Every structure is written in structure tokens, then in C-alpha cells.
Structure 1
Amino acid sequence: MATISELVLYPIKSCAGLSVPEAMLCIDGLAAHGMYDREWMVVTQDGLFLTQREHPRMAVIAPRIDGDTLLVEAPGMTPLRLPLAHDAGAASRAVQIWDDHVLAADCGEAAALWFSGAIGTPCRLVRFRPDVVRPTSTKWTNGIPAATRFSDGYPILLIGQSSLDDLNTRLLRAGRAPLPMNRFRPNLVVTGIDAFEEDFVGAFAGDGVALHPVKPCARCPIPSIDQATGIPGPDPLDILQAYRANARMDGAVTVGMNVIVVDGIGHTVRVGQQLDAELAF
């Protein structure tokens, strides 16, 4: 039996997360407080997505809900307010995230100037349009359709707390500092399963909900970035490489599983909720 111990939305891709006590399951991820996970994204002037991989300062750009707005704060910056209501008159902008090209809503000049100053490079802020669908690849889903917004590829990332505990034990043995879970930027953290058992779960199910882990998450250098300061530090990939190189992913280091919602769209999941962890074999 797995227990949900944390739910996190990242309203703006690659910026700080927002922990919530409950969230609604949608085909394209989690939603709470009138917003969706990865609903906004920072792009270059040409529309190419930006992340902490190139701009670690994005980690300290922190959104939070304030009434009917998303209040965005960053060190040394006057807070920016983004309306939660969609602007039907917003200009469309073609954007690229990995190999996908979609039309997004441009958030205007004030937001562009603010994010350019916060990150230190010319950029623009865009929002996922409600009339757009970005389907996920069915290569890993056994043909089951799903969708996502501005996440890298799938709507939900799940990690077991025991998996991080296992890594931290190894880091301590190597004389390294343990890492907090936010280095791995999951949406859903569960307790009650063994380290990396999420790799072998076919479904987390219960109360009308079925979440299917479909693809291991290949890790990039972002876990080396302190999410509180935006400053890169020692990369745990050297430790992980010794035991987390995944043959299914051509030898890439994997931590966590990408998950799709198979049953329970529109249902609410809560911190403390228990789900059966049904093994895939």
C-alpha cells in the first residue's frame, strides 16, 4: 500500500514548485486553485523553451496563488501578477518544447520584461491555451492516449520517498550531503513502497483512481541545482550511475516514473490518501 505524502505543482515550467494538500487529476496532469501543472513556460524570442538546465536562476522564481492571480516573486524583483483568468485576446505564439511545436498564448510585454530581468536573458512568458491538446507519445503507454501541457513528455512524475532515502544513504557514505526531494521535481511523492519499487508498479489504484507508471524518468543535471538558491553544486549523477543506469533507456540514469491517468479524471487526490501499488509482474 502506497500513501501520497506530497503533491506539487509547477505552475511555470522549470520554476519553483507549489506544494498543495490536494489536487484534481486531469488527463494532462494535476490542477489546483484554478491552475494546471506547467501551464506557463518561459521561451526565447524564437519560442524555444528555457529550463534550469541552461538558466539555474529559474529555480528561485517562485509562484503562489494570491486571490485571482498567480503572484510571481524573485530576489531583487518587484512581484509580478498574472491573472488566472485566460485572456481571450492574447496573441498567439508558436513555441517549441523538445520535438513538439504548439501554439501558446503570449503573456505580454510586462511579463516578458520581468522574466528577462529575473533570468538575465531576453525571453517571453507564454501560457498553454485551453483549446490546444498536446498528446503524449504512446510508445510507452501500450497505446493508451494521454496528454500533457508544458511538461517534458508526460503529465505526472512520481517518486517514492524510499528511493530518495536510498540515494541519500549512498551520498552520506561517500561523504556528501543528502538532497531534498525538490531536487528531482516530482508531482507526486509516495511512501510505503521499497526503494525504486515504483519502477515495477503497473498501477497505483484506489477510490476510482488508476495511475499507470509508463516510462522511467531519465535524469538531467537539474538535481545538482539547489532549488532554494539557484546555485549548482555537486551532481548526484556520479553516484546514481553506479546503480541506476537503465538498459530500457539506453543506459541513461533514471529516478522516478512518468505516470498517466487511466481512471479518475476529475477526481481529487489528497496528501495522506492510500493507493494500492499493483506490481506489473
Structure 2
Amino acid sequence: MARIAELVAYPVKSLDGVAVERAEIGPRGALLGDRTYALVEAGVDPHEASVGGSGGYVNGKREPAVHGLRASYDLAGPADATPTAVTLSRPARSETGIVADERTFALPDDAEALEAWVGEYLGYDVDLVREPDGGLPDDRAAPGPTVVSRATLETVAGWFDAVADATEMRRRLRPNVVLDDCPAFWEDRLFADHGEAVAFAADGATLLGVNPCQRCVVPSRDPDTGVETDGFRETFVRKRRETLPAWTESDRFDHDFRLMVNTLVPETEWGATVAVGDEVTIGEVVDLDDGPGGETVVGGAP
């Protein structure tokens, strides 16, 4: 029986995550507080911007210096990862004359001070934007918690000499839910074909697995330094194909640079709580227009 081994929220998008023992499912289905805040180039509307490499978000896809920022958080509650304060540390940057520094910022009160401090480090103006109603996920059509297994992290870490262990691979892939007591790539059972989803339950909460996550440049980079692993994508694609389980067969798996599962959470499940130790069981394949009980799935199909 698969179970939840780790829950990780990312209160500020693209910065460090924080492990929690339990998490409430918030509006639109994300873990409450996950990616509540994000950094964007000054003046960019986060709802109009693309999360891609040139889309205006200050993220690892377009700004390797983000990897140098370390973050820890004060959280709103034991099941609410909304940050009430963030402590940031930045390394020295000889090319810009920035010295190593650490500051704590109350949120949202110290937003302008945080913007100035991070902008000084990056060398351009940034805005700290906030979206308390469901956060700012990459996959806006499937904004629920992302899922991977610990065995998958261990297996994929073993493909690369530059990756220390499963924990480092988790930091590179940035999932919300890590499962244990299941084989590598077990999470590939949690998606079906286009127009369909796989219902699965974590204790009392039902989620819908929608699609395998398309990866970007971020997993190829050291999560602390931003240094890229040579040949990462090529090795990943080759090994993914070599180790592909029979259960991964789906028209959603249209190329091999996919890993982790994006989810939707029906509105009826908002407010439910998931916790480390919860057993995870797979249910039926459902039409993506409807939840397992016939309710409309808010968010629609990707």
C-alpha cells in the first residue's frame, strides 16, 4: 500500500520548500499556502505572464541566480503553509559587488523591502506578487499537488554522478507529495489518456491525476549553485525510455522528458487535509469533465 512519506510546500515560488506533516487543500486544489507568493520582473502581471524561460517570472527557468537564494519560513499554521515571514540569505556576487547577507521579511508588510533586497542581488527591479486564492502554479489547468514516489527519486538520482541522492533529486524536481512503499514510477499509474483522469485517495481526500509533468531546465541544475549538469536531458530521456513501465502507456506521455504527476482536486475536496502517513489508493478512471461523484471539476482539462 503506497503512503505519503513527505509533504512539501513552496510558499514563495521558485525558492526553497518547507516540509510539513499535514496540509489543508486550499482554493483551486493546491496545498494551502503553496506558491502563495512569486517574484516577477517589475510591472509584470503574474496572471498574464508565462512561466517559461522568457515569461516574466523570476524563476530557475530564466534566472540561474535564483538558485543561490536560500529561504526559510514562518508559517500561518500547522496545516497552512502561507508564509507570515521569510528569512532569505544571498551569496556574494563579485560581478555586481553584492556581499553575502541574510534578512528576515514579514509578509506581506515588508514586501517592498524584500523586492529591493532581491532586486539588488539580481541586478534588476522585481515585484513580489501574491495570490492567496490557489497560489501561482506552473500548470494552471492542473493546479493540485504534484506527486512522485521516493523510489522514483532514488532511481533517477542514480542516473547521474552529479546528483548526490534522492533528497537532491526531490529538490530539483520540486514535488509536493512524495510517496513511499511503492516501486519506481508507480505515480505513472495516476494518469490516463487525454480527456480522462485517475481518481486516487489519500486517506479521506480524493484527487485526480491528470498528466505527467513536462520537465524544463531546472532539474538539470544544482539546486544550490545553479550549475547545470552536462548532458542531463539526453541521459534522462534515454534512461526514462529504458526503464519505462508498461503501466505508463498513455497518449499523454508523448515524449520521454516527463516525470511526476500533475493533479486536479474537485471542489468538494477543498478544505480536506492530507498528512504524512496517509495511505494512497487508486480508484477509477473518470471523465475529466466530471469528478468521481459526478460533480464538475473546476479548472477544466489541460
TM-score, L = length of structure 2: 0.69
Deviation >6 Å, runs of 4+: none
Q: Distance in 2 between matches of 1:213 and 1:235?
A: 30
CA contact (8 A) 2:202 2:278 kept: no
- Tell me the residue number matched to 1:220: 216
Partner of 1:163: 152
How far did residue 41 of structure 1 move?
0.8
Aligned with residue 54 of structure 1, among 54, 62, 65 = 62
The number of equivalent residue pairs is 236
Return closer, same or farther for 1:234/1:82 CA change in 2, 3 Å cut-off. farther
Partner of 1:77: 101
Match of 1:78, SS?
strand
RMSD, aligned CA = 2.7
Q: What residue is the counterpart of 1:43 in the other structure?
A: 40
1:20 aligned residue? 20
1:270 aligns to what?
275
Instruction: Among all aligned residue pairs of Structure 1 and Structure 2, give the percentage whose two residues are the same amino acid.
Output: 28
Q: What TM-score results when the alignment is normalised by the length of structure 1?
A: 0.74
What residue in structure 2 maps to residue 152 of structure 1?
138
- Contact kept in structure 1, 2:29 and 2:270, CA below 8 Å: no
Match for 1:23: what amino acid? A
Of 253, 257, 262, the match for 1:253:
257
- Distance of 1:41 and 1:69 partners within structure 2: 14
Pairwise CA distance, 1:4 = 0.6
Structure 2 residue ranges without an equivalent (≥5): 45-55, 77-82, 91-99, 191-197, 242-249, 287-302
* In structure 2, C-alpha distance between the alignment counterparts of 1:176 and 1:66, rounded to whole Å: 33
In structure 2, relative to structure 1, the CA distance for the partners of 1:129 and 1:157 (3 Å cut) is closer
Between the aligned partners of 2:189 and 2:285, the Cα distance in structure 1 is 6
The 5 Å alignment of 1:164-203 reads 164-171=153-160, 177-179=163-165, 180=168, 181-201=170-190, 202-203=198-199
What secondary structure, in the 3-state scheme, does the structure 1 residue paired with 2:270 have? coil
How far residue 176 of structure 1 moved from its aligned partner, in angstroms, is 5.1
The answer as to whether partners of 1:208 and 1:264 remain within 8 angstroms in 2 is: no
CA distance in 1, matches of 2:64, 2:187: 28
The runs of 5 or more residues in structure 1 that have no matched partner are: 88-106, 131-147
Give CA-to-partner distance per residue, 1:98-123, whole Å, 9 cap, x none: xxxxxxxxx75322201212334321
* Secondary structure in 1 matching 2:86: strand
Shift in CA distance, 232/121, structure 1 to aligned 2, threshold 3 Å: farther
CA contact (8 A) 2:203 2:278 kept: no
Is the contact between residue 8 and residue 19 of structure 2 (CA under 8 Å) also seen in structure 1?
A: yes
Q: Is the 8 A contact 2:144 2:264 kept in 1?
A: yes
From the superposition, tell whether residues 252 and 278 of structure 1 become closer, same or farther in structure 2 (CA, over 3 Å).
same
Higher strand share: 1
Residue aligning to 2:7: 7
AA in 2 matched with 1:69: T
